[in-house]
Amino acid sequence: MSESVQEFDVVIIGAGPGGYVCAIRCAQLGLKTAIVEKGKTLGGTCLNVGCIPSKAILESSEHYAQAQHELADHGVELGKVSLNLSNMMKRKDKIVGDLTQGVAYLMKKNKVETFYGTGSIVSTGVVQVAGETSATLKAKHIVIATGSVPIELPFMKFDGKFIVSSTEALKFEKVPEHLIVVGGGAIGLEMGSVWLRLGAKVTVIEFADKICGPADKQLSNDLMRVLKKQGMEFMLSTKVTGAEIKGKTVTVNFESVSDGTKGSVQGDKVLVSVGRKPFTDGLGLDKMGVKLNERGQIVVGEHYQTSTAGIYAIGDATPGAMLAHKAEEEGVALAETLGGGVGHVNYNTVPSVIYTWPEMASVGASEEELKAKAIEYNSGSFPFTANARAKAIGMTEGRVKILADKKTDQVLGVHIVGPRASDMIAEAVVAMEFGASSEDIARSFHAHPTLAEVMREAALAVDKRVRQM
Protein backbone atom coordinates (compact mmCIF):
# COMPACT_ATOMS: atom_id res chain seq x y z
CA MET A 1 0.00 0.00 0.00
CA SER A 2 1.43 3.40 -0.91
CA GLU A 3 0.51 6.73 0.70
CA SER A 4 0.48 10.04 -1.17
CA VAL A 5 -1.18 13.45 -1.29
CA GLN A 6 -1.43 14.90 -4.74
CA GLU A 7 -3.08 17.94 -6.27
CA PHE A 8 -5.13 17.91 -9.45
CA ASP A 9 -7.39 20.22 -11.43
CA VAL A 10 -9.92 17.42 -11.83
CA VAL A 11 -10.46 14.16 -9.94
CA ILE A 12 -12.98 11.77 -11.50
CA ILE A 13 -14.50 8.96 -9.43
CA GLY A 14 -15.45 5.99 -11.64
CA ALA A 15 -13.76 4.85 -14.84
CA GLY A 16 -16.75 3.81 -16.96
CA PRO A 17 -17.49 5.43 -20.33
CA GLY A 18 -18.55 8.65 -18.60
CA GLY A 19 -15.49 8.87 -16.36
CA TYR A 20 -12.70 7.75 -18.66
CA VAL A 21 -13.90 9.78 -21.64
CA CYS A 22 -14.23 12.84 -19.40
CA ALA A 23 -10.70 12.22 -18.10
CA ILE A 24 -9.20 12.04 -21.59
CA ARG A 25 -10.90 15.25 -22.71
CA CYS A 26 -9.89 17.07 -19.49
CA ALA A 27 -6.27 16.01 -20.05
CA GLN A 28 -6.40 17.03 -23.73
CA LEU A 29 -7.54 20.47 -22.59
CA GLY A 30 -4.50 20.80 -20.33
CA LEU A 31 -6.16 20.01 -16.99
CA LYS A 32 -4.14 17.91 -14.56
CA THR A 33 -6.46 14.93 -14.19
CA ALA A 34 -6.79 11.85 -11.98
CA ILE A 35 -9.27 8.99 -12.20
CA VAL A 36 -10.24 6.67 -9.33
CA GLU A 37 -11.64 3.18 -9.98
CA LYS A 38 -12.70 0.59 -7.43
CA GLY A 39 -12.81 -2.25 -9.95
CA LYS A 40 -9.74 -4.26 -10.99
CA THR A 41 -9.96 -2.98 -14.55
CA LEU A 42 -11.06 0.28 -16.18
CA GLY A 43 -14.03 0.66 -18.52
CA GLY A 44 -16.87 0.38 -15.99
CA THR A 45 -20.07 -1.57 -16.49
CA CYS A 46 -19.96 -1.08 -20.25
CA LEU A 47 -16.62 -2.72 -20.96
CA ASN A 48 -16.56 -5.25 -18.13
CA VAL A 49 -20.12 -6.54 -17.67
CA GLY A 50 -22.30 -4.60 -20.11
CA CYS A 51 -22.20 -3.40 -23.70
CA ILE A 52 -19.07 -5.21 -24.81
CA PRO A 53 -19.31 -8.75 -23.38
CA SER A 54 -23.01 -8.83 -24.31
CA LYS A 55 -22.29 -7.83 -27.90
CA ALA A 56 -19.45 -10.36 -28.12
CA ILE A 57 -21.71 -13.28 -27.22
CA LEU A 58 -24.63 -11.88 -29.20
CA GLU A 59 -22.36 -12.01 -32.26
CA SER A 60 -21.06 -15.52 -31.48
CA SER A 61 -24.51 -16.92 -30.73
CA GLU A 62 -25.84 -15.38 -33.94
CA HIS A 63 -23.10 -17.16 -35.92
CA TYR A 64 -24.13 -20.40 -34.20
CA ALA A 65 -27.80 -19.83 -35.08
CA GLN A 66 -26.93 -18.97 -38.68
CA ALA A 67 -24.72 -22.03 -39.02
CA GLN A 68 -27.60 -24.17 -37.80
CA HIS A 69 -30.53 -22.58 -39.59
CA GLU A 70 -29.44 -20.24 -42.38
CA LEU A 71 -26.15 -21.13 -44.05
CA ALA A 72 -27.57 -24.16 -45.86
CA ASP A 73 -29.88 -21.74 -47.66
CA HIS A 74 -26.78 -19.94 -48.96
CA GLY A 75 -25.45 -23.27 -50.22
CA VAL A 76 -23.00 -23.61 -47.34
CA GLU A 77 -23.36 -27.05 -45.80
CA LEU A 78 -21.51 -27.66 -42.56
CA GLY A 79 -22.84 -30.99 -41.40
CA LYS A 80 -23.55 -31.24 -37.69
CA VAL A 81 -22.88 -27.95 -35.93
CA SER A 82 -21.82 -28.15 -32.30
CA LEU A 83 -21.39 -25.57 -29.58
CA ASN A 84 -18.15 -24.95 -27.68
CA LEU A 85 -19.49 -22.61 -25.01
CA SER A 86 -16.19 -22.41 -23.20
CA ASN A 87 -14.43 -21.09 -26.34
CA MET A 88 -17.27 -18.66 -26.95
CA MET A 89 -16.77 -17.29 -23.42
CA LYS A 90 -12.98 -17.18 -23.81
CA ARG A 91 -13.35 -15.08 -26.95
CA LYS A 92 -15.68 -12.70 -25.08
CA ASP A 93 -13.24 -12.45 -22.15
CA LYS A 94 -10.35 -11.70 -24.51
CA ILE A 95 -12.29 -8.89 -26.17
CA VAL A 96 -13.12 -7.43 -22.75
CA GLY A 97 -9.49 -7.82 -21.62
CA ASP A 98 -8.11 -6.13 -24.75
CA LEU A 99 -10.50 -3.22 -24.43
CA THR A 100 -10.04 -2.63 -20.70
CA GLN A 101 -6.26 -2.68 -21.20
CA GLY A 102 -6.80 -0.27 -24.06
CA VAL A 103 -8.47 2.17 -21.67
CA ALA A 104 -5.54 1.83 -19.22
CA TYR A 105 -3.20 2.60 -22.14
CA LEU A 106 -5.29 5.65 -23.07
CA MET A 107 -5.02 6.94 -19.49
CA LYS A 108 -1.23 6.66 -19.63
CA LYS A 109 -0.99 8.14 -23.11
CA ASN A 110 -3.06 11.14 -22.07
CA LYS A 111 -1.19 11.50 -18.75
CA VAL A 112 -4.25 10.82 -16.63
CA GLU A 113 -3.13 9.49 -13.24
CA THR A 114 -5.04 6.30 -12.35
CA PHE A 115 -5.75 5.29 -8.75
CA TYR A 116 -7.19 1.83 -8.10
CA GLY A 117 -9.37 1.96 -4.99
CA THR A 118 -12.69 3.23 -3.68
CA GLY A 119 -13.03 7.00 -3.81
CA SER A 120 -15.01 9.08 -1.35
CA ILE A 121 -15.33 12.83 -0.93
CA VAL A 122 -14.16 13.64 2.57
CA SER A 123 -14.21 17.44 2.50
CA THR A 124 -14.42 20.30 0.02
CA GLY A 125 -12.07 19.47 -2.84
CA VAL A 126 -10.64 16.34 -1.21
CA VAL A 127 -11.08 12.74 -2.42
CA GLN A 128 -9.81 9.88 -0.29
CA VAL A 129 -8.82 6.69 -2.10
CA ALA A 130 -8.88 3.43 -0.17
CA GLY A 131 -7.95 0.06 -1.61
CA GLU A 132 -5.07 -1.09 -3.75
CA THR A 133 -3.83 2.50 -3.67
CA SER A 134 -4.28 4.63 -0.58
CA ALA A 135 -4.11 8.32 -1.35
CA THR A 136 -5.50 11.74 -0.62
CA LEU A 137 -6.27 13.72 -3.75
CA LYS A 138 -6.94 17.44 -3.73
CA ALA A 139 -8.95 18.76 -6.64
CA LYS A 140 -10.45 22.02 -7.90
CA HIS A 141 -13.21 19.97 -9.50
CA ILE A 142 -14.58 16.56 -8.51
CA VAL A 143 -16.58 14.54 -11.03
CA ILE A 144 -18.81 11.66 -9.90
CA ALA A 145 -19.15 9.02 -12.62
CA THR A 146 -19.94 6.00 -10.46
CA GLY A 147 -22.59 4.54 -12.76
CA SER A 148 -25.29 2.08 -11.83
CA VAL A 149 -26.04 -1.45 -10.63
CA PRO A 150 -28.90 -3.86 -11.46
CA ILE A 151 -32.19 -3.37 -9.60
CA GLU A 152 -33.03 -6.29 -7.34
CA LEU A 153 -36.65 -7.31 -6.72
CA PRO A 154 -37.15 -7.36 -2.93
CA PHE A 155 -39.16 -10.59 -3.10
CA MET A 156 -36.69 -12.29 -5.45
CA LYS A 157 -33.17 -11.50 -4.30
CA PHE A 158 -30.20 -12.26 -6.53
CA ASP A 159 -28.41 -15.42 -5.39
CA GLY A 160 -25.95 -15.47 -8.29
CA LYS A 161 -26.92 -19.03 -9.17
CA PHE A 162 -30.63 -19.42 -9.86
CA ILE A 163 -31.83 -15.82 -9.68
CA VAL A 164 -29.27 -13.72 -11.45
CA SER A 165 -28.53 -10.30 -12.93
CA SER A 166 -27.05 -9.65 -16.39
CA THR A 167 -23.55 -9.99 -14.90
CA GLU A 168 -24.05 -13.72 -14.26
CA ALA A 169 -26.14 -14.22 -17.42
CA LEU A 170 -23.05 -13.17 -19.40
CA LYS A 171 -21.11 -16.16 -18.12
CA PHE A 172 -23.38 -19.16 -17.55
CA GLU A 173 -21.19 -22.27 -17.72
CA LYS A 174 -23.84 -24.28 -19.49
CA VAL A 175 -26.88 -23.45 -21.58
CA PRO A 176 -29.94 -23.23 -19.32
CA GLU A 177 -32.82 -25.60 -20.06
CA HIS A 178 -35.35 -22.87 -19.44
CA LEU A 179 -34.31 -19.27 -18.84
CA ILE A 180 -37.05 -17.08 -17.42
CA VAL A 181 -36.37 -13.42 -18.12
CA VAL A 182 -38.14 -10.93 -15.89
CA GLY A 183 -38.30 -7.64 -17.82
CA GLY A 184 -38.56 -7.26 -21.59
CA GLY A 185 -36.22 -4.30 -22.06
CA ALA A 186 -32.93 -4.16 -23.95
CA ILE A 187 -30.87 -6.24 -21.52
CA GLY A 188 -33.52 -8.95 -21.06
CA LEU A 189 -34.11 -9.30 -24.80
CA GLU A 190 -30.40 -9.33 -25.64
CA MET A 191 -29.45 -11.91 -23.02
CA GLY A 192 -32.62 -13.88 -23.80
CA SER A 193 -31.61 -13.93 -27.49
CA VAL A 194 -28.12 -15.21 -26.69
CA TRP A 195 -29.36 -18.21 -24.69
CA LEU A 196 -32.31 -18.89 -27.02
CA ARG A 197 -29.89 -19.16 -29.96
CA LEU A 198 -27.67 -21.47 -27.96
CA GLY A 199 -30.57 -23.83 -27.28
CA ALA A 200 -32.42 -22.66 -24.14
CA LYS A 201 -36.16 -22.26 -23.92
CA VAL A 202 -36.68 -18.59 -23.08
CA THR A 203 -39.75 -17.01 -21.53
CA VAL A 204 -39.90 -13.25 -21.10
CA ILE A 205 -42.29 -11.93 -18.44
CA GLU A 206 -43.08 -8.24 -18.83
CA PHE A 207 -45.24 -6.01 -16.62
CA ALA A 208 -46.19 -3.60 -19.43
CA ASP A 209 -48.40 -4.47 -22.38
CA LYS A 210 -45.42 -4.24 -24.74
CA ILE A 211 -41.70 -5.01 -24.76
CA CYS A 212 -38.75 -2.60 -25.36
CA GLY A 213 -39.55 -0.05 -22.63
CA PRO A 214 -40.59 3.35 -23.98
CA ALA A 215 -39.81 2.52 -27.63
CA ASP A 216 -42.37 3.12 -30.40
CA LYS A 217 -45.19 0.60 -29.87
CA GLN A 218 -45.65 -0.44 -33.47
CA LEU A 219 -41.98 -1.29 -33.90
CA SER A 220 -41.78 -2.96 -30.48
CA ASN A 221 -44.61 -5.22 -31.63
CA ASP A 222 -42.76 -5.84 -34.93
CA LEU A 223 -39.71 -6.97 -32.98
CA MET A 224 -41.76 -9.16 -30.66
CA ARG A 225 -43.35 -10.88 -33.65
CA VAL A 226 -39.94 -11.77 -35.08
CA LEU A 227 -38.55 -12.92 -31.72
CA LYS A 228 -41.65 -15.10 -31.28
CA LYS A 229 -40.93 -16.69 -34.68
CA GLN A 230 -37.44 -17.45 -33.37
CA GLY A 231 -39.05 -19.28 -30.44
CA MET A 232 -38.91 -16.69 -27.65
CA GLU A 233 -42.06 -16.78 -25.52
CA PHE A 234 -43.67 -13.69 -24.04
CA MET A 235 -46.06 -13.04 -21.17
CA LEU A 236 -47.08 -9.39 -21.31
CA SER A 237 -49.10 -7.43 -18.72
CA THR A 238 -47.82 -9.92 -16.17
CA LYS A 239 -46.50 -9.08 -12.74
CA VAL A 240 -43.96 -11.38 -11.12
CA THR A 241 -44.78 -11.81 -7.43
CA GLY A 242 -42.16 -14.22 -6.11
CA ALA A 243 -39.95 -17.22 -6.70
CA GLU A 244 -39.23 -20.49 -4.94
CA ILE A 245 -36.14 -22.61 -5.44
CA LYS A 246 -36.41 -26.39 -4.97
CA GLY A 247 -33.48 -28.55 -5.99
CA LYS A 248 -32.39 -27.24 -9.38
CA THR A 249 -35.76 -25.74 -10.27
CA VAL A 250 -37.00 -22.20 -9.77
CA THR A 251 -40.73 -21.61 -9.76
CA VAL A 252 -41.63 -18.04 -10.64
CA ASN A 253 -45.06 -16.91 -9.49
CA PHE A 254 -46.96 -14.23 -11.34
CA GLU A 255 -50.34 -12.58 -11.69
CA SER A 256 -52.08 -10.93 -14.60
CA VAL A 257 -51.99 -7.12 -14.40
CA SER A 258 -55.47 -6.87 -15.92
CA ASP A 259 -57.51 -9.44 -13.95
CA GLY A 260 -55.23 -10.67 -11.17
CA THR A 261 -55.25 -14.29 -12.42
CA LYS A 262 -52.39 -16.10 -10.71
CA GLY A 263 -50.02 -18.63 -12.23
CA SER A 264 -46.47 -19.94 -12.17
CA VAL A 265 -43.73 -21.04 -14.53
CA GLN A 266 -40.71 -23.25 -13.84
CA GLY A 267 -37.18 -22.87 -15.10
CA ASP A 268 -33.59 -23.48 -14.08
CA LYS A 269 -32.36 -19.86 -14.31
CA VAL A 270 -34.14 -16.57 -13.78
CA LEU A 271 -32.63 -13.39 -15.15
CA VAL A 272 -34.03 -10.33 -13.41
CA SER A 273 -33.56 -7.42 -15.83
CA VAL A 274 -36.03 -4.84 -14.59
CA GLY A 275 -33.66 -1.90 -14.86
CA ARG A 276 -30.64 -0.40 -13.15
CA LYS A 277 -30.29 2.08 -10.32
CA PRO A 278 -27.63 4.71 -9.72
CA PHE A 279 -24.69 3.67 -7.55
CA THR A 280 -23.56 6.31 -5.06
CA ASP A 281 -22.84 4.22 -1.95
CA GLY A 282 -19.93 5.29 0.21
CA LEU A 283 -19.19 8.47 -1.72
CA GLY A 284 -19.96 10.69 1.25
CA LEU A 285 -22.60 12.64 -0.68
CA ASP A 286 -24.80 13.19 2.36
CA LYS A 287 -22.03 14.83 4.29
CA MET A 288 -21.11 17.00 1.31
CA GLY A 289 -24.74 18.12 0.80
CA VAL A 290 -25.04 16.58 -2.66
CA LYS A 291 -28.76 16.11 -3.33
CA LEU A 292 -30.31 12.96 -4.76
CA ASN A 293 -33.81 12.73 -6.25
CA GLU A 294 -36.47 10.18 -5.24
CA ARG A 295 -34.91 7.61 -7.60
CA GLY A 296 -31.50 7.98 -5.97
CA GLN A 297 -30.08 9.82 -8.97
CA ILE A 298 -27.70 12.72 -8.36
CA VAL A 299 -29.53 15.96 -9.13
CA VAL A 300 -27.56 18.07 -11.59
CA GLY A 301 -28.12 21.56 -12.92
CA GLU A 302 -26.39 23.47 -15.67
CA HIS A 303 -23.07 21.94 -16.77
CA TYR A 304 -23.62 18.87 -14.57
CA GLN A 305 -23.10 20.89 -11.37
CA THR A 306 -24.56 19.12 -8.33
CA SER A 307 -26.12 20.96 -5.40
CA THR A 308 -22.59 21.35 -3.95
CA ALA A 309 -20.14 23.74 -5.60
CA GLY A 310 -17.14 22.04 -7.20
CA ILE A 311 -18.80 18.62 -7.41
CA TYR A 312 -20.22 17.47 -10.75
CA ALA A 313 -21.96 14.26 -11.84
CA ILE A 314 -22.45 12.50 -15.18
CA GLY A 315 -23.65 9.23 -16.70
CA ASP A 316 -25.84 6.53 -15.16
CA ALA A 317 -25.57 8.09 -11.69
CA THR A 318 -27.63 11.05 -12.99
CA PRO A 319 -31.13 11.30 -14.55
CA GLY A 320 -31.68 10.41 -18.20
CA ALA A 321 -31.03 7.44 -20.46
CA MET A 322 -28.70 4.83 -18.95
CA LEU A 323 -26.52 4.44 -22.00
CA ALA A 324 -22.78 4.44 -22.55
CA HIS A 325 -22.86 7.07 -25.30
CA LYS A 326 -25.00 9.38 -23.14
CA ALA A 327 -22.41 9.07 -20.35
CA GLU A 328 -19.57 9.71 -22.82
CA GLU A 329 -21.15 12.81 -24.33
CA GLU A 330 -21.79 14.21 -20.87
CA GLY A 331 -18.17 13.48 -19.95
CA VAL A 332 -16.94 15.43 -22.97
CA ALA A 333 -19.37 18.32 -22.43
CA LEU A 334 -18.35 18.64 -18.78
CA ALA A 335 -14.63 18.48 -19.60
CA GLU A 336 -15.07 21.23 -22.17
CA THR A 337 -16.84 23.39 -19.62
CA LEU A 338 -14.16 22.76 -16.98
CA GLY A 339 -11.53 23.53 -19.61
CA GLY A 340 -13.02 27.00 -20.11
CA GLY A 341 -15.25 26.27 -23.11
CA VAL A 342 -18.93 25.50 -23.41
CA GLY A 343 -19.97 21.86 -23.52
CA HIS A 344 -23.35 20.84 -24.86
CA VAL A 345 -25.37 17.64 -25.22
CA ASN A 346 -28.46 17.45 -27.43
CA TYR A 347 -30.72 15.10 -25.46
CA ASN A 348 -33.25 15.00 -28.32
CA THR A 349 -30.86 12.93 -30.39
CA VAL A 350 -29.68 10.20 -28.01
CA PRO A 351 -30.09 6.96 -30.00
CA SER A 352 -31.07 3.74 -28.29
CA VAL A 353 -30.47 0.28 -29.65
CA ILE A 354 -31.53 -3.26 -28.79
CA TYR A 355 -28.98 -5.65 -30.30
CA THR A 356 -31.30 -8.57 -30.98
CA TRP A 357 -31.46 -9.95 -34.52
CA PRO A 358 -33.05 -8.10 -36.17
CA GLU A 359 -31.90 -5.10 -34.19
CA MET A 360 -34.10 -2.29 -33.02
CA ALA A 361 -32.84 1.29 -33.02
CA SER A 362 -34.53 4.60 -32.45
CA VAL A 363 -33.89 8.26 -32.01
CA GLY A 364 -36.27 11.08 -31.13
CA ALA A 365 -39.97 10.85 -30.40
CA SER A 366 -42.20 7.80 -30.77
CA GLU A 367 -45.71 8.09 -32.21
CA GLU A 368 -47.09 7.69 -28.68
CA GLU A 369 -45.00 10.64 -27.44
CA LEU A 370 -46.04 12.89 -30.34
CA LYS A 371 -49.70 12.04 -29.77
CA ALA A 372 -49.38 12.72 -26.03
CA LYS A 373 -47.87 16.14 -26.78
CA ALA A 374 -50.49 16.83 -29.50
CA ILE A 375 -47.75 17.41 -32.07
CA GLU A 376 -49.05 16.90 -35.60
CA TYR A 377 -46.85 14.69 -37.73
CA ASN A 378 -46.59 12.75 -40.97
CA SER A 379 -45.32 9.22 -40.88
CA GLY A 380 -43.51 7.28 -43.59
CA SER A 381 -42.43 3.71 -43.33
CA PHE A 382 -40.71 1.22 -45.61
CA PRO A 383 -40.12 -2.52 -45.13
CA PHE A 384 -36.81 -4.33 -45.55
CA THR A 385 -38.66 -7.01 -47.59
CA ALA A 386 -38.61 -4.61 -50.54
CA ASN A 387 -34.88 -3.81 -50.29
CA ALA A 388 -32.47 -5.59 -52.62
CA ARG A 389 -29.55 -5.71 -50.17
CA ALA A 390 -31.72 -7.10 -47.39
CA LYS A 391 -32.80 -9.86 -49.78
CA ALA A 392 -29.18 -10.60 -50.70
CA ILE A 393 -28.26 -10.81 -47.01
CA GLY A 394 -31.32 -12.93 -46.37
CA MET A 395 -32.61 -10.68 -43.61
CA THR A 396 -35.81 -9.01 -44.64
CA GLU A 397 -37.68 -8.62 -41.35
CA GLY A 398 -38.59 -5.16 -40.13
CA ARG A 399 -38.97 -1.64 -41.39
CA VAL A 400 -37.81 1.97 -41.03
CA LYS A 401 -40.37 4.48 -39.82
CA ILE A 402 -39.79 8.23 -39.99
CA LEU A 403 -41.96 10.74 -38.15
CA ALA A 404 -41.78 14.31 -39.41
CA ASP A 405 -43.47 17.53 -38.33
CA LYS A 406 -46.66 18.03 -40.35
CA LYS A 407 -45.96 21.71 -41.08
CA THR A 408 -42.18 21.96 -41.36
CA ASP A 409 -41.31 18.35 -42.34
CA GLN A 410 -38.50 18.43 -39.73
CA VAL A 411 -37.62 14.88 -38.65
CA LEU A 412 -38.92 14.28 -35.10
CA GLY A 413 -38.23 10.58 -34.69
CA VAL A 414 -36.82 7.61 -36.56
CA HIS A 415 -37.47 4.00 -35.57
CA ILE A 416 -35.94 0.93 -37.13
CA VAL A 417 -36.37 -2.78 -36.71
CA GLY A 418 -34.06 -4.54 -39.12
CA PRO A 419 -30.61 -5.82 -39.96
CA ARG A 420 -27.81 -3.52 -38.73
CA ALA A 421 -30.35 -1.01 -37.39
CA SER A 422 -27.64 -0.05 -34.87
CA ASP A 423 -25.47 1.31 -37.69
CA MET A 424 -28.33 2.69 -39.76
CA ILE A 425 -29.61 4.88 -36.93
CA ALA A 426 -26.45 7.04 -37.17
CA GLU A 427 -27.82 8.67 -40.33
CA ALA A 428 -31.01 9.60 -38.50
CA VAL A 429 -29.04 11.02 -35.55
CA VAL A 430 -26.97 13.23 -37.83
CA ALA A 431 -30.08 14.29 -39.75
CA MET A 432 -31.83 15.30 -36.52
CA GLU A 433 -28.72 17.01 -35.14
CA PHE A 434 -28.68 19.21 -38.26
CA GLY A 435 -32.44 19.81 -38.11
CA ALA A 436 -33.04 17.95 -41.40
CA SER A 437 -36.43 17.47 -42.99
CA SER A 438 -37.56 14.11 -44.31
CA GLU A 439 -37.14 15.63 -47.78
CA ASP A 440 -33.45 16.31 -46.98
CA ILE A 441 -33.00 12.59 -46.34
CA ALA A 442 -35.03 11.69 -49.43
CA ARG A 443 -32.89 13.96 -51.64
CA SER A 444 -29.56 12.66 -50.29
CA PHE A 445 -27.61 9.98 -52.15
CA HIS A 446 -27.81 6.50 -50.67
CA ALA A 447 -25.53 3.99 -52.36
CA HIS A 448 -27.22 1.09 -54.13
CA PRO A 449 -27.69 -1.64 -53.08
CA THR A 450 -27.54 -0.87 -49.35
CA LEU A 451 -29.76 -1.31 -46.33
CA ALA A 452 -29.60 2.48 -45.95
CA GLU A 453 -31.85 2.81 -48.99
CA VAL A 454 -34.70 1.73 -46.71
CA MET A 455 -34.12 4.98 -44.78
CA ARG A 456 -34.42 6.95 -47.97
CA GLU A 457 -37.58 5.13 -49.04
CA ALA A 458 -39.13 5.74 -45.61
CA ALA A 459 -38.30 9.44 -46.05
CA LEU A 460 -39.96 9.39 -49.48
CA ALA A 461 -42.93 7.62 -47.90
CA VAL A 462 -43.46 10.58 -45.56
CA ASP A 463 -44.37 12.48 -48.74
CA LYS A 464 -46.15 9.41 -50.17
CA ARG A 465 -43.54 9.02 -52.92
CA VAL A 466 -42.35 5.44 -52.38
CA ARG A 467 -40.66 4.09 -55.52
CA GLN A 468 -39.28 0.64 -54.74
CA MET A 469 -41.56 -2.29 -54.13
Ligand X SMILES: Cc1cc2nc3c(=O)[nH]c(=O)nc-3n(C[C@H](O)[C@H](O)[C@H](O)COP(=O)(O)OP(=O)(O)OC[C@H]3O[C@@H](n4cnc5c(N)ncnc54)[C@H](O)[C@@H]3O)c2cc1C
Element (H, E) at 270: strand 269-272
Smallest separation (angstroms) from ligand X to the CB of 187: 5
CA angle 133, 137, 138 (to 5 degrees): 180
Contact 273, 165 (CB under 8 A): yes
Asked whether position 420 contacts ligand X by CB under 6 A, the answer is no
DSSP bridge pairs for 123:
126
Per-residue DSSP letter, 358: S
Q: Of 295, 291, 405, 307, which is closest to residue 348 (Cα–Cα)?
A: 405
In the complex, minimum distance from the CB of residue 411 to ligand X, in angstroms, rounded to a whole number: 22
Please say which residue, 23 or 458, places its beta carbon nearer to ligand X: 23
Among 33, 61, 118, 381, binds ligand X (CB under 6 A): 118
> CA nearest 416: which of 366, 359, 367?
359
- Exposure of 247 by Cβ count < 10 A (0-12 exposed, 13-18 middle, 19+ buried)? exposed
**Phi, psi for residue 179 in degrees, rounded to 5:** -95, 120
Q: Does 14 bind ligand X (CB under 6 A)?
A: yes
Q: Residue 35: phi, psi to the nearest 5?
A: -130, 140
Catalytic status, residue 448: yes
Q: How far is CA 196 from the centre of its chain?
A: 20
Region 342-381 residues binding ligand X, contact defined as CB under 6 A: 355
For residue 39, the minimal CB distance to ligand X (Å) is 4
Taking contact as CB under 6 A, which single stretch among the options 17-25, 364-372, 400-408, 429-437 is the one that binds ligand X? Answer: 17-25
Considering the rule CB under 6 A, would residue 283 count as an interface residue with ligand X?
yes
> Is residue 102 a contact residue for ligand X (CB under 6 A)?
no
Site for ligand X in 67-96 (CB under 6 A): none
Rule CB under 6 A: choose which of 8, 10, 12, 17 binds ligand X. 17
Q: How far is the CB of 256 from ligand X (least distance, A)?
A: 28
Q: Which residues, 151 to 170, sit near ligand X by CB under 6 A?
A: 166
Residue from 60, 61, 66, 148 binding ligand X (CB under 6 A):
148
For ligand X, the closer of residues 39 and 413 by Cβ is 39
CB of 161 to ligand X, least distance (A): 18
Nearer Cβ to ligand X (103/458): 103
- Position among 113, 206, 316, 427 found at the interface with ligand X (CB under 6 A): 316
Mention every residue, 6+ apart, whose C-beta is less than 8 A from residue 281.
none
Cβ partners under 8 Å of residue 134, min gap 6:
1, 2, 3, 117
Distance from chain centroid for Cα 200:
23
Residue 429 binds ligand X, judged by CB under 6 A: no
Looking at beta carbons only, is 180 or 404 nearer to ligand X?
Answer: 180
The Cα 298–Cα 338 span in angstroms is: 19
Enumerate binding residues for ligand X (CB under 6 A).
13-19, 36-39, 44-46, 49-51, 54, 118-119, 145-148, 166, 187, 279, 282-283, 315-316, 322-325, 327, 355
